[in-house]
Amino acid sequence: MTRTPVNVTVTGAAGQIGYALLFRIASGHLLGPDVPVNLRLLEIPQGLKAAEGTAMELDDCAFPLLRNIEITDDANVGFDGANVALLVGARPRTKGMERGDLLSANGGIFKPQGKAINDNAADDIKVLVVGNPANTNALIAQAAAPDVPAERFTAMTRLDHNRAISQLAAKTGAAVSDIKKLTIWGNHSATQYPDIFHAEVAGKNAAELVNDEAWLADSFIPTVAKRGAAIIEARGASSAASAANAAIDHVFTWVNGTAQGDWTSMGIPSDGSYGVPEGIISSFPVTTKNGTYEIVQGLDINEFSRARIDASVKELTEERDAVRELGLI
């Protein structure tokens, strides 16, 4: 049976993450090897020519699953009938910019995009926000889309999750595939909390196996939380291929489900679980099945974890209050 193509919209398509992302979507890594896709590339006017160049290259790959590419600078066109939206394009922080200025500039992008999703996207739309500050940009877009179920708006912490797995594998000498049930809590920022207390390494509890709180507090957590800045320092540009890879992982897992005995991390609207105020978009441990996700319940949160989750959540509530004051939500 021929499947109906899935409409995938990518904003910031001409940027560096866009360039690392589009070819993998078109080759079937986002949704699966038997799912045809239509691509919608949304850019600002200055980005349209470069997006056209990328589209030419996509054509030149002759991907069997890629049915059609549309390029536009009109959000209503870009999100028309979208089943999956990857919101990558954002206003980066520039020198001298205060946090309020950054939130306000991004509000000017994510509020109208949220409205365009509300008015034009397909009923089953799933949104992943990658553009920073990702959690609060997702909150802004979600607030502008009252007709879309709030849980369809998610923010990317999968890159942090993957970074944490890689660091833990290196520390324990285990294979990456042996690491399960790791959690990123909170914001995609330096306050995020990568939690190994429930993680397993080849079936053994990770925190007990490592048995080194100084490594956890002084090495593992800051390495994961500040990895984005370290990449910028080393590369002279922010992470692109690894960010694109994490976006692929996030959507693939959301659509196709987590493995038995494992979970993943996603920034999602809080339902109040684990004392995280309802409504803010915070990262949680989640399982996914049939295109939906559920927060893993009943985890014991020790004092070490509680303080770190609370610190990141505090930052998120401050960002929420700031965008509320700016009239963005």
Ligand X SMILES: O=C(O)C[C@H](O)C(=O)O
Is there a binding annotation on residue 93?
yes
Q: How far apart are CA 321 and CA 308, in angstroms?
A: 20
User: For this structure, is 29 an active site residue?
Assistant: no
Burial class (CB in 10 A: 0-12, 13-18, 19+), 218: exposed
Nearest to ligand NAD of 131, 194 (CB atom): 131
Closest approach, Cβ 89 to ligand X, in A, equals 13
Is there a binding annotation on residue 158?
no
Q: Which does 201 bind (CB under 5 to 8 A by kind): ligand NAD, ligand X, none?
A: none
Question: Which amino acid would we find at residue 15?
Answer: G
Q: Which does 114 bind (CB under 5 to 8 A by kind): ligand NAD, ligand X, none?
A: none
Closest approach, Cβ 135 to ligand X, in A, equals 11
Is there a binding annotation on residue 18?
yes
Nearest to ligand X of 216, 246 (CB atom): 246
Q: Which residues pair with 184 in a beta bridge?
A: 194
Nearest to ligand X of 67, 226 (CB atom): 226
Q: Name the residue whose CB lies closest to ligand NAD.
A: 15
Q: Which does 194 bind (CB under 5 to 8 A by kind): ligand NAD, ligand X, none?
A: none
Chain residues that interact with ligand NAD, rule: CB under 6 A: 11-12, 14-18, 42-44, 47, 88-90, 92, 109, 130-132, 134, 156, 159, 188, 238-240, 243
Q: Which does 231 bind (CB under 5 to 8 A by kind): ligand NAD, ligand X, none?
A: ligand X
Angle between helices 99-120 and 303-325 (to 10 degrees): 80
Of the candidates 161, 188, 198, 250, the residue annotated as catalytic is 188
Q: Which does 240 bind (CB under 5 to 8 A by kind): ligand NAD, ligand X, none?
A: ligand NAD
Closest approach, Cβ 247 to ligand X, in A, equals 12
Terminal CA-CA length for the chain: 44
Closest approach, Cβ 182 to ligand X, in A, equals 16
Chain residues that interact with ligand X, rule: CB under 6 A: 132, 159, 228, 231, 238-239, 243
Q: Which does 47 bind (CB under 5 to 8 A by kind): ligand X, ligand NAD, none?
A: ligand NAD
Nearest to ligand X of 240, 311 (CB atom): 240
Nearest to ligand X of 8, 231 (CB atom): 231
Is there a binding annotation on residue 323?
no
Q: Which residues pair with 314 in a beta bridge?
A: none
Nearest to ligand X of 242, 305 (CB atom): 242
Residue with token string 């919101």: 87
Q: Name the residue whose CB lies closest to ligand X.
A: 228
Q: How far is CA 285 from the centre of its chain?
A: 14
Q: Residue positions in the annotated binding site for substrate?
A: 93, 99, 132, 163
Catalytic residue ranges: 188
Q: Residue positions in the annotated binding site for NAD(+)?
A: 12-18, 106, 113, 130-132
